[in-house]
């Protein structure tokens, strides 16, 4: 490695080998060559004067790429596609006259981008299925465990640890629906010529419109696309980039929310992300256990969300059949978004694989707040025993205020229950009061909601994609 050059941290530190290979120069330019083979092969099938020998020569050299020569050619032509036509032609001298026949640069450039994005979405789908599986297992395991709910990050009514995980899970299911829709509806640019009119191909086939239509459909099919844009300019509509990056931004948004919740819970010491044996939380403070992976998720998620603004602006400023001010932007934004979302999902799979729950701390936090929340139930039970509702309300209000002062002003424990048990005006003893303040009685239908959600909405997806389960995740740093 040349240590004097800039290196992208996404490839050095974060993204998986599979996603890096997908957006590598080798994958890009070998895909260009596959597109040239598919074009020549189909042109021959439809009657053009192209030989089997030429096609065989091209097919045998798809992976034989001389990157140094391509670099020289690009310096000479100032055109990446022509540089690679000549690089391919150098090892395919018989096929050189028919490589790229009738096509424009966008034939290889745009169609390759669509192939890479579709394959990228397939990789993301696999990771999402595994994340959904991990979250489902976690939700079921803790569906009955009461925990303090928070609104405005202030203590609110109880929920369960599993039910809270379903909030995260539901977000990812909504993202998964978007992912499925966009990936199955992504349309190929196909074979359209310089301004999208197919004029060059109409000339090649002597005005035979049906053959030109067939060429477009057959090449697209060979490259794995059933759906093809009928209308293009020189490029496919950049609106498709917007649709794809919007899906990635949606996943990033959900990931950020979940990772933020974990960071807050780790501060409360209720839930903790996995911590390696030799991991260092702080170079100065030896005792620290920081939620580093969740923080990294948030950091990368913001990159993906902000990147998703680019395609809106790019498409909005494409003039007529195309301008080239999309090119440099897309070269950076599309791969970076895929690499970053890949890293995010790897991190979340790792985190959810070993999320630690501290039951006793959760219970302690509940019992600091639940006595206040249970006062209405205590009033109701006292009235059932013949007490006056208004008197009970005033007595319990006063005890609550006093107990609250002890907690807030003196840092003492919440002794409200003891105060109520000692008050002879309240017709309940300590045992009866504690029975009323049982956390399990304050979680509503949370456990049942988890089960219903998992059975009705999560399991159908996991059953449909069970062959995608089981990914090996390696966090580099």
pLDDT of residue 284: 56
Q: Tell me which residue has tokens 């050059």.
A: 5
Domain-embedded: residue 169:
yes
User: Which pLDDT belongs to residue 476?
Assistant: 75
Mutual angle of helices 105-141 and 25-45, in 10-degree steps:
120
Angle, vertex CA 106, rays to CA 101 and CA 107, nearest 5: 45
Q: Which two tokens stand for residue 35?
A: 């597109």
- How far apart are alpha carbons 271 and 477 in whole angstroms? 22
Interatomic CA distance for residues 342 and 456, integer angstroms: 28
Is residue 84 located within the same domain as residue 225?
no
Which pLDDT belongs to residue 477?
Answer: 73
Q: Are 197 and 342 within one domain?
A: yes
**What is the set of active-site residues?**
152, 282
Which candidate, 8, 16, 21, places its Cα nearest to that of 350? 16
Tell me: do 79 and 125 sit in the same domain: no
Q: Specify the CATH number for the domain of residue 41.
A: 1.10.275.10
Q: pLDDT value at position 414?
A: 87
The alpha helices in 186-308, defined as continuous H runs, are 199-204, 209-222, 239-267, 292-307
CATH code, domain carrying 246: 1.20.200.10
Cα first-last separation, the chain: 18
| In-domain check, residue 476 | no
Does the residue 456 lie in any domain? no
Task: Output the pTM of the full model.
Answer: 0.94
* d(C-alpha 25, C-alpha 85), whole Å: 15
Rounded Cα distance between 107 and 39, Å, is 10
| Residue 12 within a domain | no
Distance CA(103)–CA(198), nearest Å, equals: 9
Task: Give yes or no for a contact between 305 and 333, defined as CB atoms under 8 angstroms apart.
Answer: no
Widest distance between CA atoms in the chain: 105
Looking at the structure, tell me whether residues 116 and 167 fall in a common domain: yes
**Rounded Cα gap, residues 260 and 273, in angstroms:** 12
CB atoms < 10 A from the CB of 454, how many? Answer: 20
Strand (E) or helix (H) holding 16 = none
* Assigned domain for 123 exists: yes
Phi/psi of residue 24, each to 5°?
Answer: -80, 155
φ/ψ of 350, rounded to 5, equals -65, -45
Q: Which residues pair with 148 in a beta bridge?
A: 158
Q: Are 307 and 337 in contact (CB under 8 A)?
A: yes
Question: CA 272, CA 355: separation in Å to the nearest integer?
Answer: 6
Q: Note whether 134 and 212 are same-domain residues.
A: yes
**Quick one: pLDDT at residue 1?**
61
DSSP 458: I
Q: What angle do CA 351, 335, 241 make, to 5 degrees?
A: 110
Q: Do 307 and 421 fall into the same domain?
A: no
- Residues paired with residue 160 on neighbouring β-strands, in sequence order: 146
Per-residue pLDDT in tens (0 to 9) along the chain, 477 residues = 677 899 999 999 999 999 999 999 999 999 999 999 999 999 999 999 999 999 999 999 999 999 999 999 999 999 999 999 999 999 999 999 999 999 999 999 999 999 999 999 999 999 999 999 999 999 999 999 999 999 999 999 999 999 999 999 999 999 999 999 999 999 999 999 999 999 999 999 999 999 999 999 999 999 999 999 999 999 999 999 999 999 999 999 999 999 999 999 999 999 999 876 555 555 555 556 789 999 999 999 999 999 999 999 999 999 999 999 999 999 999 999 999 999 999 999 999 999 999 999 999 999 989 988 888 889 999 999 999 999 999 999 999 899 989 888 988 888 988 999 999 899 999 999 889 999 999 999 999 999 999 999 999 999 999 999 998 888 877
Statement to judge: residues 109 and 88 lie in one domain? no
Residues 216 and 324 in one domain: yes
Residues 306 and 165 reside in one and the same domain = yes
In this structure, the answer to whether residues 88 and 176 fall within a common structural domain is no
The total domain count for the chain is 3
CA atoms within 13 A on the CB side of 295: 8
Confirm whether 3 is domain-assigned: no
Domain contains 150: no
Q: Which residues form the domain of 394?
A: 375-436
Closest CA to 29 of 76, 2, 77, 61: 61
Q: Are residues 125 and 89 in the same domain?
A: no
CATH of the domain at 391: 1.10.40.30
Does residue 125 sit in the same domain as residue 269?
yes
């Amino acid at each position: 490695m040349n240590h004097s050059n800039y290196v992208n941290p996404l490839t050095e530190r974060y993204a998986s080998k599979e996603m890096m290979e997908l957006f590598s120069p080798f994958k890009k330019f070998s895909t260009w060559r596959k597109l040239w083979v598919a074009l020549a092969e189909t042109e021959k099938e439809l009657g053009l004067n192209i030989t089997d020998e030429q096609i065989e020569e091209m097919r045998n050299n798809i992976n034989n790429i001389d990157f140094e020569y391509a670099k020289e050619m690009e310096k000479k032509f100032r055109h990446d596609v022509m540089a690679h036509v000549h690089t391919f032609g150098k090892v395919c001298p018989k096929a050189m006259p028919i490589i790229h026949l009738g096509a424009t640069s966008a034939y290889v450039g745009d169609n390759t981008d669509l192939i890479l994005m579709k394959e990228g979405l397939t990789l993301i789908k696999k990771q999402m299925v595994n994340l959904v599986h991990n979250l489902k297992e976690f939700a079921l395991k803790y569906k009955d465990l009461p925990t303090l709910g928070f609104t405005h990050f202030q203590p609110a009514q109880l929920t369960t640890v599993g039910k809270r995980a379903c909030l995260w899970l539901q977000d990812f299911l909504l993202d998964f629906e978007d992912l499925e829709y966009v990936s199955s509806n992504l349309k190929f640019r196909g074979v359209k010529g310089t301004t999208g009119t197919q004029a060059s191909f109409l000339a090649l086939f002597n005005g035979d419109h049906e053959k030109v239509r067939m060429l477009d459909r057959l090449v697209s099919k060979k490259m794995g696309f059933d759906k093809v844009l009928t209308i293009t300019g020189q490029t496919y509509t950049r609106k498709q980039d917007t649709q794809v990056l919007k899906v990635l931004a949606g996943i990033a948004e959900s990931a950020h929310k979940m990772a933020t919740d974990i960071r807050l819970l780790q501060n409360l010491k209720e839930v903790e992300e996995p911590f390696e044996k030799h991991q260092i939380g702080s170079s100065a403070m030896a005792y620290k256990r920081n939620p580093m992976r969740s923080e990294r998720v948030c950091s990368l998620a913001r990159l993906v969300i902000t990147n998703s603004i680019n395609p809106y602006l790019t498409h909005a400023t494409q003039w007529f059949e195309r301008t080239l001010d999309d090119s440099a932007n897309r070269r950076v934004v599309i791969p970076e978004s895929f690499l970053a979302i890949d890293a995010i999902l790897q991190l979340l799979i790792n985190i959810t694989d070993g999320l630690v729950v501290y039951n006793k701390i959760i219970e302690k936090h509940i019992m600091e707040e639940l006595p206040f929340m249970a006062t209405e139930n205590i009033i109701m039970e006292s009235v059932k025993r013949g007490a006056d509702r208004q008197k009970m309300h005033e007595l319990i209000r006063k005890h609550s205020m006093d107990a609250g002062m002890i907690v807030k002003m003196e840092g003492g424990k919440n002794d409200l229950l003891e105060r109520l048990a000692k008050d002879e005006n309240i017709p309940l003893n300590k045992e009866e009061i504690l029975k009323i303040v049982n956390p399990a009685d304050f979680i509503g239908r949370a456990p049942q909601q988890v089960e219903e959600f998992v059975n009705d909405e999560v399991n159908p997806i996991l059953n449909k994609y069970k062959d995608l389960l089981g990914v090996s995740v390696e966090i580099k740093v």
